[in-house]
């Protein structure tokens, strides 16, 4: 052990003394890697993003087996992320991705996705059809192997696919294992084959059921309610968003989505975009009503000399203060980024600073622009397609191929530098926006330092109105951010002082969607929140410094209260997103009515609940309507809203960051029309006293 400790200390010392040397060495090696990268020009718009068409025969023996299937039903989360709505929709993605892989191979042009009555999914494509011949290694028809054997598929290097999103060979078999039943039809251009499975088990042998001169595959399945206990009902809008995305990423591929659950009201969308990811960028700006600062989408595409990697990049700047960078690898949305994202970010920062120095936009004594500066207001799509993609986990959230980083970097440096020089007017507006961002960040830094000098982030210098809790164990503590001093007084009197802190706020805070970070530090409504939580914001945010496990927004159940909640949620999302991602943010649910008969009291959270309670009580009753939290005394507020044993709370859940980003932009941005359209489509005008409320699948927790 002593030797181990000595070695660790030695390593730490080496790291400290040679940090700068190591960084320089890494940078030098990286630059050499970029210089060595050779690109081949191609017209991404006309040729599409697929690599050259696969010529090798796609036969039964191309299906290679790695290992067996029963563990999927025991631990489905390992394969699809969860057994909630997200995992349910993932089943559809897995089957659609197989059809997309056929499109990447150059054989599929049309994909149909149908939600049938009973939430049965049917996916049909006009690709080659899954092979039906007998696989020599298993003695089973290849299509049976694909759907019943884990780690079996044509994407392990057998030659059936050059590019594929599905590399682990588990997609089809996982869907089969987690379905109550699944049926597959294969057309090979002559015959139609059919096979049925139930909960992953073979029910019928592969059999010929007819003739057909077309090719393709049809998969029908029903998710197993034994696995998906929360819900087996598909959300059309979720599938719509994903399939539209796939159509953007595969220019020219026609994807159709139909909802036939109500045959009298069939919903249908057709997605086909010849402009590919350029159209994707335009769509994002149009959907969010963002004003662009230059007219055309900047677009680059290339492939490497070996024809094993193709890269496509589209970008455009808008007037907002937020970046929207979406990255994809083999059509898979890499939500955690990876090497392609790293290469893009690094190259963009390099090119912008190089251009600024070259043309005198930055003086010798000026600091370089940061990555955050050059990405402010940027919408960008980075799509890479490669033969041997390396993902982290089955959910494929992060790309790991190091060679992709250098290729993306090389493409950006070569093409964006030339573009900026050839389009000085565009370069000027982009640089001016980045420079404004840089100045704002410097102002924010100075404001932050001033705030620290005036009020260091320690327990002795916490916000004056904060009534802190006694416990220092952050795993059990919670803070109530309360609207108004009156409610704050009641909350302080009724709380559990050991674990509950109270921070009263008066008035409405800054809408951060319309402001840069420097204004956040000057806002007297937000600074107490920042100081109390202790995590810092933006680039300095550190979840490990969070002083409370639960951050609970407690506002009145009226329009003003809803606005305050929304302003706080916007702030948390933009500057403290891990708070939401890790489930620390809650919304308190105070009652609207108190129904009393003698000394017995009941509380109602809506007009309907009030009427139901009154119908059950005989005799004379007294109904008190709470106009705000300040009308409750300490005992009532504790009993109804703060007691962990009896309270109702909404946990703010961030299941889709992209959709949340879009929603905040629409609701809290400058444009009125998209906000009105959103309200008309999504919100319910209640007959209850809560006026206008919108929750997208809230998680109601009767718990602490």
Are 494 and 635 spatial neighbours (Cβ–Cβ below 8 Å)? Answer: yes
- Catalytic member of 50, 341, 556, 661: 556
- Catalytic member of 240, 336, 372, 558: 558
267-271 and 179-188 strand pairing: unpaired
H helix or E strand, kind and range, residue 223: strand 215-223
Buried b (16+ CB within 10 A) or exposed e, 115-142: beeeebbbbbbbbbbbbbebbeebebbb
Q: Cα-flanking dihedrals φ and ψ of residue 231, to 5°?
A: -165, 150
Nearest to 410 by CA among 29, 33, 51, 45: 33
Give the other-Cβ count within 10 Å of 329's Cβ.
27
Structure tokens at 702: 């009767």
30 vs 33: CA distance, rounded Å: 5
- CA contacts within 13 A on the Cβ side of 464: 4
622-625 and 550-554 strand pairing: unpaired
556 is an active site residue: yes
483 is an active site residue: yes
Buried b (16+ CB within 10 A) or exposed e, 201-232: eeeeebeeeeebeebbbbbbbbbbeebbeeeb
Are 224 and 174 spatial neighbours (Cβ–Cβ below 8 Å)? Answer: no
Burial class (CB in 10 A: 0-12, 13-18, 19+), 627: exposed
- Catalytic member of 119, 260, 414, 560: 560
SS3 per-residue string spanning 406-474: HHHHHHHHHHHHHHHHHCHHHHHHHHHHHHHHHHHHHHHHHHHHHHHHHCCCCHHHCCCCCECCCCCCC
Q: Which residues pair with 693 in a beta bridge?
A: 684
Are 651 and 699 spatial neighbours (Cβ–Cβ below 8 Å)? Answer: yes
Q: At what angle do helices 85-104 and 236-249 cross, to 10 degrees?
A: 20
7 vs 4: CA distance, rounded Å: 5
DSSP string, 132-188: -SBPTTTSSBHHHHHHHSTTEES-SSSSS-SS-S--SS-HHHHHHHTEEEEEEEEEE
Structure tokens at 38: 């050779």
The alpha carbon dihedral of 262, 267, 270, 271 has a sign of negative
β-sheet with 593-597: strand ranges across: 600-604, 593-597, 622-625
Name residues whose C-beta falls within 8 Å of residue 689's C-beta, 6 or more positions apart in sequence: 557, 592, 606, 607, 625
- Catalytic member of 483, 639, 661, 662: 483
Q: Which amino acids are annotated catalytic?
A: 483, 556, 558, 560
């Amino acid at each position: 052990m002593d030797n181990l400790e000595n070695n660790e200390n030695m390593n730490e010392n080496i790291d400290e003394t040679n940090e700068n040397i190591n960084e320089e060495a890494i940078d030098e090696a990286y630059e050499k890697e970029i210089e060595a990268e050779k690109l081949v020009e191609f017209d991404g718009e006309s040729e599409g993003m697929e690599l050259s068409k696969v010529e090798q025969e796609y036969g039964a023996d191309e299906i290679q087996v790695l290992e067996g299937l029963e563990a999927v039903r025991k631990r489905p989360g390992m394969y699809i992320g969860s057994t909630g709505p997200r995992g349910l929709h993932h089943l559809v993605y897995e089957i659609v991705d197989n059809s997309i892989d056929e499109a990447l191979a150059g054989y599929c042009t049309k994909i149909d996705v149908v939600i049938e009555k009973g939430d049965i999914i049917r996916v049909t494509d006009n690709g080659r059809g899954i092979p039906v011949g007998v696989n020599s290694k298993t003695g089973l028809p290849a299509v049976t192997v694909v759907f019943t054997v884990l780690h079996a598929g044509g994407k392990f290097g057998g030659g059936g696919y050059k590019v594929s999103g599905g590399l682990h060979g588990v997609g089809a078999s996982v869907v089969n294992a987690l379905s109550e039943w699944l049926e597959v039809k294969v057309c090979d251009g002559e015959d139609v084959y059919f096979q049925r499975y139930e909960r992953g088990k073979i029910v019928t042998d592969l059999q010929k059921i007819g003739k057909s001169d077309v090719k393709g595959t049809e998969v029908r399945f029903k998710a197993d309610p034994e696995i998906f206990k929360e819900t087996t009902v598909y959300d059309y809008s979720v599938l719509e968003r994903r399939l539209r995305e796939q159509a953007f990423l595969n220019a020219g591929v026609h994807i159709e989505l139909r909802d036939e659950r109500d045959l009298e009201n069939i919903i249908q969308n057709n997605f086909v975009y010849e402009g590919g990811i350029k159209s994707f960028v335009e769509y994002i700006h149009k959907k969010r009503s963002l004003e662009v600062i230059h007219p055309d989408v900047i677009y680059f595409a290339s492939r490497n000399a070996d024809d094993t990697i193709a890269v496509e990049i589209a970008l455009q700047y808008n007037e907002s203060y937020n970046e929207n960078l979406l990255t994809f690898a083999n059509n898979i949305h890499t939500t955690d980024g990876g090497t392609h994202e790293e290469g893009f970010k690094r190259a963009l920062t390099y090119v912008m600073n190089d251009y600024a120095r070259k043309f005198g936009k930055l003086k010798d004594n000026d600091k370089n622009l940061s990555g955050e500066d050059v990405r402010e207001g940027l919408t960008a799509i980075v799509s890479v397609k490669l033969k041997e993609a390396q993902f982290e986990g089955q959910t494929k959230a992060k790309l790991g191929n190091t060679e992709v980083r250098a290729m993306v970097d090389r493409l950006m440096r070569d093409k964006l530098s030339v573009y900026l020089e050839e389009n000085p007017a565009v370069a000027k507006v982009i640089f001016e926006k980045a420079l404004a961002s840089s100045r704002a960040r410097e102002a924010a830094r100075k404001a932050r330092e001033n705030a620290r000098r005036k009020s260091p982030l320690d327990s002795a210098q916490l916000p004056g109105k904060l009534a802190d809790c006694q416990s220092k164990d952050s795993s059990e503590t919670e803070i109530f951010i309360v609207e108004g001093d009156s409610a704050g007084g009641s909350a302080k009197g009724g709380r559990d002082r050991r674990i509950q802190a109270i921070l009263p706020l008066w008035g409405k805070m800054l809408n951060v969607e319309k402001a840069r970070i420097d204004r956040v530090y000057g806002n007297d409504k937000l600074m107490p929140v920042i100081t109390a939580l202790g995590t810092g914001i933006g680039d300095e945010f550190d979840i490990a410094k969070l002083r409370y496990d639960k951050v609970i927004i407690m506002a009145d159940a009226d329009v003003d209260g809803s606005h305050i909640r929304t302003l706080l949620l916007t702030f948390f999302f933009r500057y403290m997103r891990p708070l939401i991602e890790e489930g620390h943010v809650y919304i308190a649910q105070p009652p609207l009515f108190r129904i009393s008969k003698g000394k017995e009291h009941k509380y109602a959270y809506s007009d309907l609940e009030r009427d139901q309670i009154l119908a059950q009580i005989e005799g004379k009753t007294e109904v008190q309507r709470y106009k705000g939290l300040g009308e409750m005394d300490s005992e009532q507020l504790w009993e109804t809203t703060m007691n962990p044993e009896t309270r109702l709370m909404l946990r703010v859940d961030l299941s889709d960051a992209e959709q949340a980003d879009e929603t905040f932009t629409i609701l809290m941005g400058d444009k009125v029309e998209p906000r009105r359209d959103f309200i008309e489509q999504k919100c319910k005008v209640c007959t209850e006293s809560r006026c206008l409320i919108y929750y997208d699948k809230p998680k109601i927790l009767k718990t602490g």
